[in-house]
Structure 1
Amino acid sequence: MGKRPTPKKRRSKRATRTQHSIYIWKEMQRLKNRSRSPFGKLAESKNKGKKALKGLTRIKA
């Protein structure tokens, strides 16, 4: 028989809430900074029409 794992202390609700609120705050900051950046916009795909035509193998009449 294997050894019993050592019992871990239960994490308090307060610690979990604090960690989550800090995570949310950092995420909000990241998204704000990204939206304000000139490079934050989503890039438009190039040659969309050409790629669509390239994907066609046959045309049904």
Structure 2
Amino acid sequence: SIQTITSLNLECNKIQAEGIRYLAEMLQNNTTLTTFDLGWNNVRDDGAQYLANALQNNTVR
């Protein structure tokens, strides 16, 4: 189950804003993820905003 994942590495997957939006929705409901790597993706400004909103009350570093 996605609820028990503690680490997620999605580095170098060409993820763009729409994909980031879905990941951000997942992050809002996850309480166990502590490490999340999105390096070398196409996050951009709108994707970064989705992530910032999702991570306000989360344990991800």
Please tell me the TM-score bracket, short chain as reference. Answer: under 0.3
Q: Which structure would you say has the larger Rg?
A: 1
Larger strand share, 1 or 2 = 2
Task: Specify which structure has the higher proportion of helix.
Answer: 1
TM-score (norm 1): 0.28
